[in-house]
Amino acid sequence: MFSTAFEHLKHGLLTLCVSLVFLLSLFRFCSASTPLHPSELREVRRVPPRFSIPPTDNEIMPGGSVNITCVAVGSPMPYVKWMLGAEDLTPEDDMPIGRNVLELTDVRQSANYTCVAMSTLGVIEAVAQITVKALPKAPGTPVVTERTATSITLTWDSGNPEPVSYYIIQHKSKYLDDLYKEIDGVATTRYSVGGLSPYSDYEFRVVAVNNIGRGPPSEIIEAKTAEQAPSTAPRQVRGHMMSATTAVIQWDEPEEPNGQIMGYRVYYTMDSSQHVNLWEKQIVRGSNFVTIQGLIPNKTYYIKVLAYTSVGDGPLSPELQIIAKTGGGFAFIFFSKCVSV
């Protein structure tokens, strides 16, 4: 049973082999019966030039070197030459076939080099852009977009078509002969410089940095921070009696007005245990003293002064005590007592 099946298989395989051999010989016979003429052979293999390795763009350091390879194929094989603009860089009588490597050394300037491949079937070109890296250019003059009493927000134009690594913001007080303080590693073209003093003039400029180094600074922009309420009280509050019922109170401007002082409020009372809002008060604009009339003779008065800007009130001065009393028609200065408020 098994051997019969085997015989069948063997027979089948043999038949198959015979058929294959027949087919193959038939194919051979057919191909051999139509030989190609040499002229037709050349016709089929004519291929216009194309770049198999097109030249690549390169970024190099100033004074650097680079080899740019350009390989073109075709049938017939194309000549390959390099050009810079209209100038031929490859001698006409020594033009390589298929492959041409342009060796550039001590490159100082960016340029576009053109690889040209040509045969009787055509001329093709490819451009390699060689960019010499340089220090970044100065960014555009910064613009102030926001101000608070302690911060200035700047935006600026990069000024560089090539990407820069980051920016440095330099700032200093306008009137002090300071060195610039620097904020390093600013990745965006907008930044809020904090930690500034209120109502103060500053100068800002921006520097772009790339992997070669720092470029030149931008133009300077001046900006003043916004006002704030004074952060200290009027100084040296003092008083004297013009008569038994009239006192003159004087003071000096606070050390940190933080803006333009719009005026002062002078509070006075005989009962210093009351909240200061319940004391008598006088508003003073444009001067540093006030005359208080209608005091009760021989009474002790308590006096406090504050300065205010358009933004708000500063702290109250320490308490001044005076006794409404005169001697022999002369004005007396009584004592002032410093009390922290």
Ligand X SMILES: *[C@@H]1O[C@H](CO)[C@@H](O)[C@H](O)[C@H]1NC(C)=O
Rule CB under 6 A: which residues touch ligand X? 65-67, 103, 110-112, 129, 297-298
110 vs 145, beta carbon nearer ligand X: 110
Please tell me whether the peptide bond between 76 and the residue prior to it is cis, using omega within 30 degrees of 0: yes
120 vs 129, beta carbon nearer ligand X: 129
Shortest spacing between CB 309 and ligand X, in angstroms: 41
4 vs 109, beta carbon nearer ligand X: 109
34 vs 109, beta carbon nearer ligand X: 109
Shortest spacing between CB 58 and ligand X, in angstroms: 10
Shortest spacing between CB 127 and ligand X, in angstroms: 7
129 vs 243, beta carbon nearer ligand X: 129
**67's torsion region: left (phi>0), alpha (psi -120 to 50) or beta?**
beta
196 vs 292, beta carbon nearer ligand X: 292
Check if the beta carbon of residue 301 is closer than 8 Å to that of residue 270: yes
- Paired with 143 in beta bridges are 155
Shortest spacing between CB 112 and ligand X, in angstroms: 4
Rounded-to-5 percentages of helix, strand, coil across the chain: 15, 45, 45
110 vs 274, beta carbon nearer ligand X: 110
Q: How many CB atoms lie within 10 A of CB 69?
A: 14
Alpha-carbon distance of 275 to 259, in angstroms, equals 27
* Sheet-wide strand order for 280-284: 280-284, 263-269, 300-308, 320-323
In three-state secondary structure terms, 241 is strand
Q: Where are the alpha helices (DSSP H) in the chain?
A: 2-33, 38-44
Shortest spacing between CB 322 and ligand X, in angstroms: 14
From 54, 55, 59, select the one nearest 130 (Cα to Cα). Answer: 59
Shortest spacing between CB 262 and ligand X, in angstroms: 38
Distances (CA, A) of 208 to 60, 99, 144, 204, 227: 19, 41, 18, 14, 31
Alpha-carbon distance of 258 to 253, in angstroms, equals 11
Shortest spacing between CB 62 and ligand X, in angstroms: 14
